[in-house]
């Protein structure tokens, strides 16, 4: 293969690879936000906040969505969660979700090599 082609490919790899701050997928400022849209209008937002390092990461999640028709809320979705990770292993998660009046809760706890899951108290 031509050395010029090899250099060009190497340069592309360097540009395409994430920098050290984003190597584990976490934004450099520790915050990831998204907006939810319906028919071109924003109906809600979600925020992921990351703290700690890749070996011991905490993630706080907040999602709020509201659909309104003529100033009246016709649908509401809220989600709150807190996760604890050790590397790529989930250690614990507590989540509360309200899907238009239907409340849900999930708790996940690592016990040995398995995850114990409690959903809605069961």
Predicted confidence at residue 91, as pLDDT, reads 96
pLDDT attached to residue 23: 57
**Domain range for 34:** 25-119
The burial class, CB within 10 Å (0-12 / 13-18 / 19+), for 49 is: middle
The pair of structure tokens assigned to 110 is 């690592």
Q: Tell me, what's the pLDDT at 62?
A: 97
Name the region of 73 (left: φ>0; alpha: ψ -120 to 50; beta: rest). Answer: beta
- Per the structure, the count of domains in the chain is 1
Residue 9 lies inside a defined structural domain of this protein: no
Domain presence at residue 63: yes
pLDDT at site 25: 82
17 within some domain:
no
Instruction: Give mean pLDDT in consecutive 10-residue pieces for the chain, a chain of 122 residues.
Output: 40 35 76 95 96 94 95 96 94 97 96 94 88
């Amino acid at each position: 293969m031509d050395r010029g082609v090899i250099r060009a490919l190497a340069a592309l790899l360097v540009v395409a690879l994430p920098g050290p701050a984003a190597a584990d997928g976490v934004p450099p400022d520790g915050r990831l936000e998204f907006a939810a849209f319906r028919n071109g209008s924003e109906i809600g937002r979600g925020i992921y906040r990351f703290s700690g390092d890749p070996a011991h990461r905490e993630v706080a999640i907040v999602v709020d969505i509201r659909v309104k028709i003529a100033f009246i809320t016709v649908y509401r979705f809220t989600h709150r969660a807190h996760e604890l990770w050790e590397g790529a292993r989930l250690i614990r998660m507590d989540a509360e979700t309200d899907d238009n009046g239907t409340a849900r809760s999930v708790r996940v706890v690592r016990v040995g090599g398995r995850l114990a899951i409690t959903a809605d108290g069961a």
